[in-house]
Amino acid sequence: MSSFASFKSEYLDISEDQLVARAQEGDLDAFESLVRQHQEMVFAVAYQVLGDKDDARDVCQECFIKLHREIGSYRPKGKFSTWVYRIVVNAAIDFQRRQKRDRFVSLENTVLTTGSSDTDLRMSLDRVLEELTPKQRTAFVLRDLQGFPLDEVAEILNCNAITVRVHVHNARRTVRKRLEQDL
């Protein structure tokens, strides 16, 4: 296992394209460097889409393992990061579907809290976002919370910009209504 210091000098100064090319040749240091570059944003997206830290971490892990497996077939048509986010978003949506099947959660029993602890904040944010469909929530997270441009959100979600605008439009209306009712 490499330490951060061992590859820092060599890999921090080279471009992402070069890192990808090296990772495609099986260079694990280069891949690890790519993980470091993207892990926080990928985790933030997974967390905001799923609303659970442990689930988000699992999805992140799944995403990067898949990324390593498939990086050989990646062809740089667009931004590498777009491809990474597409993988994490798909993994998160799949995770939600699996979770829905496996869990028996009664939303009616969820208690709304407005306190100031981390858990309470999380519940409030979840409560605000819970009525959104998975696609609406993902589009909202990418566009409004992460600030991706509309076209990039469309690329990540593999749909056109009009569809993203519909998701975002509906999400913003729902979020506003929810906040007015609950908070």
Partner 1 sequence: MMCRLTRLLLPLYVGGDLSGGPEKWVAGHVDRCESCVADLEKLNGARDQVKTLAKQDTPSLPLDFAAQIREQIEQDGEQVVVLPKRQRWVWAAAAMLLIAGFGWFSVFEDASEIAEDAVIEAPLAVEEPVETFSAGDLEAMMSLLNPNRELTDAELDRKYPVVESVNFPNGTQMVYHTDDPNTKVVWVVAQEGVQVQ
- For residue 177, the minimal CB distance to partner 1 (Å) is 9
For position 118 contacting partner 1 by CB under 8 A, the verdict is yes
Q: 72, 171, 89, 76: which is closest to 131 by C-alpha?
A: 171
- For residue 82, the minimal CB distance to partner 1 (Å) is 18
- Residue from 8, 16, 21, 35 in contact with partner 1 (CB under 8 A): 35
- For residue 99, the minimal CB distance to partner 1 (Å) is 16
Binding mask 53-82 for partner 1 (x = CB under 8 A): x---x--xx--xx--xx-xxx---------
Do 158 and 69 contact (CB within 8 A), yes or no? no
Provide the Cα torsion 166, 168, 171, 176; round to 10°: -120
If you count them, how many residues does the chain have? 183
- Residue from 50, 83, 124, 142 in contact with partner 1 (CB under 8 A): 124
For position 14 contacting partner 1 by CB under 8 A, the verdict is no
For position 21 contacting partner 1 by CB under 8 A, the verdict is no
* C-beta atoms surrounding 178 within 10 Å: 16
User: Which residues lie below 8 Å from residue 123, measured CB to CB, with a gap of 6+?
Assistant: 110, 111, 112, 113
Do 164 and 157 contact (CB within 8 A), yes or no? yes
What are the structure tokens assigned to 131, written together?
């009525």
Contact range with partner 1 by CB under 8 A, out of 10-18, 79-87, 105-113, 144-152: 144-152
User: Which residues lie below 8 Å from residue 24, measured CB to CB, with a gap of 6+?
Assistant: 71, 72, 74
For position 41 contacting partner 1 by CB under 8 A, the verdict is no
For position 103 contacting partner 1 by CB under 8 A, the verdict is no
Computed over its alpha carbons, how large is the radius of gyration of the chain?
A: 18
Binding residues (CB under 8 A) for partner 1: these are 1-4, 23-26, 28, 31-33, 35-36, 39-40, 43-44, 47-48, 53, 57, 60-61, 64-65, 68-69, 71-73, 118, 121-122, 124-125, 128-129, 133, 135, 143-145, 150, 159, 162-163, 165-170, 172-173, 175-176, 179-180, 183
